[in-house]
Amino acid sequence: MSLIPLYGKTLSELTEIVVAEGLLKYTAAQITDWLYHKDVDSIDQMTNLSKKVREQLSVKYTIGLIAPEQVSESADGTKKYLFPTGINKFVEAAYIPETDRATLCVSSQAGCKMGCLFCMTGKQGFQGHLTSGEIINQLRSIPEFRNVTNIVYMGMGEPFDNLDNVLKSTEILTSEWGMGWSPKRVTVSSIGLIPALRKFMEQSNCHLAISLHTPFDEERKMLMPIQNVYPIADVVAEIRKTFKGGQRRVSFEYIMFDGINDTPKHVKEMTKLLNGLECRVNLIRFHTIPDSPLRGTADAKMLEFRDALTSKGIFTTIRASRGQDIQAACGLLSTKALIERK
Amino acid sequence: MKNWSDIEYTKQRVISNVKIAPGSHIIKFHRNNPFIAGQVLALGVNTEIEPRLYSIASAETDDLITILYSEREEGSLTPMLSLLKAGDTLLVSKPFGTFTKVKDNAVFVAAGTGIAPFMSMLQSNKVNHATVIHGAPYPDFFYFSDYLQSTLGERYIQCCSRCLPGCLYVGRVTKFLKEWDSLDTNKNYYLCGSAEMVVETRDILISRGVSVTNINSEIYF
């Protein structure tokens, strides 16, 4: 019988486990303290549990940390970690150090079902959802674990297609019994699956990033098939209904494609779409992927686009590209070659 | 689609639920909302189980909604869906989605149950001179083939990936599209199936000179 990982379980899940084991309820709080505050690697290190209880738990359970199998380092200091997540399934996480912060970009699924035209992950199909443990393990099991200041769910997969596990992982990150992070340090990105968006807005205080990429319906269908099911106008309308402001930040990601979504007409439509919504826009350089008909917009034109949006009152930034030389930059994460080799 | 509390739905009586091939079924129930060919709706058996989205396969004017689905042994919904009998209750959302605009001379490329939205478009007379390229592992899985054969004749192409050489093209739709001499780069291509099939098909069409603006995709997720 394979052992069940405790890492990635929420306080309520651990409470169910200890009650089922005939232990006192508060044992669950002791376990979360060991898992998420004291960062132990084995049940035997949970020394305020009696030896008998530790032995009892060890029959069925393990901490369940998974070490990365491989690391690549970029000239700019970005590191890409490869994690196994089951038989012939792999995910990548990107650690991006900067002067005043260090961001970890985590995956929520092995592969992806969304098939966006500009993304490498979509080209490998879908291999499976990650558990909450497999998601936060990407943080816990890298050597820079204690340096990480921010987490973004922008790696492989669509987080809202695996929302229950994503919400469990953000609960662990942000709860007092968990890692105690501020929700302001966690950003979950999505292409906008509306029912899941509604649930996320109700149940989480973390930042939200929506992949917008063009405000025009036909163009977005070409870039992102999900537009056929959940149009961006409906996604923005849902955000307007559910976003209460406060500490939470809503941002829109916008990869810039030469001659496709970088014209004054796009600025005008973006202004209409986002009018009055408290949000920001992040412009992202397109990192060319094999056989793609798309090309990235030149830097000068990106600056013009940023300035045009800013002049319309939309706070707009250009995101720095990191880790391109190790295929760790936005849209480049893929484990397809590895799956094929195995 | 995660939770029935997130969506508006009505309870419908199942009119019929018929197994048409191993693991494949067609379920029918009364239409209580207008829809546009190409739209989807969420189906469920109770509010405890996560709803799933399915493309409507019937014509816009049909009194009954037709849904084609594959039973997935590991799934939570379809094993229960397949047990429903006439008179049982089904949870049904309003139709939605915008995979609905189609141009004449369209080429529909589908894998498995991905044929459903194209059946709706063809039966609703939304398109003239369409071509259908349908992929399936065995002959039993060419759903609606009688209708497609009689309506489209030579413009109905069956790609059978596990058939022995015979009257059907042997291979996947992706292999067929790589080899297809009559591929017309000026036509509009509409794809429906799994992410893997859609992404691979889209890449092949682009590599053969079809403009990405002429490709529209619906992915089952």
- Whether pLDDT at A312 is above 70: yes
The pLDDT value given to residue A324: 76
CB contact under 8 A, B2 and A199: yes
Six-digit token pair at A241? 């209904």
In this structure, what DSSP letter does residue B164 have?
P
* Strand boundaries in B2-147, DSSP class E: 9-21, 24-30, 40-44, 52-55, 64-70, 89-93, 107-111, 131-136
Contacts of A266 (CB under 8 A, 6+ apart): A214, A215, A216, A305
**Lowest mean pLDDT across A166-180, A196-210, B3-17, B98-112:** B3-17
Q: Could you read off the pLDDT of B69-88 as tens digits, one per residue?
A: 999 888 889 999 999 999 99
Q: Kindly state whether A84 is in contact with chain B, defined as any CB-CB distance less than 8 angstroms.
A: no
Chain A and chain B share a number of CB contacts under 8 A equal to: 81
Q: What is the mean pLDDT of residues A158-187?
A: 97
Region A316-341: mean pLDDT is 77
Question: Which of B93, B100, B205, B221 to probe by mutation at the A interface, max A CB count within 10 Å?
Answer: B221
Whether pLDDT at B1 is above 60: no
Residue B217 has pLDDT above 80, yes or no: yes
Q: Tell which wins on pLDDT, A1 or B43.
A: B43
Over residues A57-67, mean pLDDT: 97
Query: Closest to A228 (Cβ–Cβ): which among B1, B6, B98?
Result: B98
Question: Cβ of B72 under 8 Å from any chain A Cβ?
Answer: no
Percentage of chain B surpassing pLDDT 70? 98
What pLDDT does B76 receive?
Answer: 87
Q: What is the pLDDT of residue A341?
A: 62
Position A193 pLDDT exceeds 90: yes
ipTM for the whole predicted complex goes beyond 0.90: yes
Of A198, A227, A229, Cβ closest to residue B40: A229
B49 interface with A at CB cutoff 8 Å: no
State yes or no: pLDDT of B185 exceeds 70: yes
Q: Does A85 touch chain B (CB under 8 A)?
A: no
Residue A167: the pLDDT is 98
Chain A within 8 Å of B86 (Cβ-Cβ)?
Answer: no
Mean pLDDT of B36-53: 93
Measured between beta carbons, the chain B residues lying within 8 angstroms of A238 are none
Residue B190 pLDDT class (50, 70, 90 cuts): very high
Q: Does residue A330 have an active-site annotation? A: yes
Are A114 and B221 an interchain contact pair (Cβ–Cβ within 8 Å)?
A: yes
Q: What is the CA radius of gyration of chain B?
A: 17
Contact list, B193 vs chain A (CB under 8 Å) = none
Grade residue B112 by pLDDT with cuts at 50, 70 and 90: very high
Among the partner residues B53, B202, B219, nearest to A114 by beta-carbon distance: B219
Q: So what's the pLDDT on residue A342?
A: 58
pLDDT, position A328:
74
Mean pLDDT, chain A, integer = 94
Q: Point out the residue among B194, B199, B221 whose CB comes nearest to the CB of A123.
A: B199
Dihedral sign for Cα A295, A300, A305, A306, please: positive
Q: Is pLDDT of B2 > 60?
A: no
Q: Do A115 and B202 touch (CB under 8 A)?
A: yes
**Contact predicate B91/B47, CB 8 Å:** yes
CB contact under 8 A, B202 and A293: no
A117 lies within 8 A of chain B by CB: yes
User: Nearest-CA residue of chain A relative to B197?
Assistant: A125
Q: What is the per-residue pLDDT across A207-227, written as a single tens digit (0 to 9) for each?
A: 999 999 999 999 999 999 999
Residue spans of the domains in chain A: they are 4-62, 70-341
Mean of pLDDT values over B21-50: 95
Residue A229, chain B, CB below 8 Å: the answer is yes
Tell me: pLDDT of B210 over 70.
yes
Residue A88: predicted pLDDT: 78
pLDDT of residue A287: 86
Q: Is the pLDDT of residue A331 over 90?
A: no
Helix axes A194-203, A163-174, angle to 10 degrees: 20
Q: Which chain A residues touch B220 with a CB distance below 8 Å? A: 113
Confidence at A321, pLDDT banded by 50, 70, 90: confident
Residues 185-204 of B with CB under 8 A from A: 194-196, 198-199, 202-203
CA distance B38 to A262: 30
At the top level of CATH, which class does the domain A70-341 belong to?
alpha beta
CB contact (8 A) between residue A228 and residue B97: yes
Does the domain spanning A4-62 belong to CATH 3.10.105.10?
Answer: no
Cα radius of gyration (chain A): 21
Place of tokens 């509010």: B47
Q: Is B16 on the interface with A (CB under 8 A)?
A: no
Q: Which of A221, A239, A45, A11 is nearest to A117 (CA)?
A: A221
Select from B206, B211, B217 the Cβ nearest to the Cβ of A225. B217
- Identify whether A269 is a catalytic site residue: no
Q: How many CA atoms lie within 13 A of A228 on its CB side?
A: 31
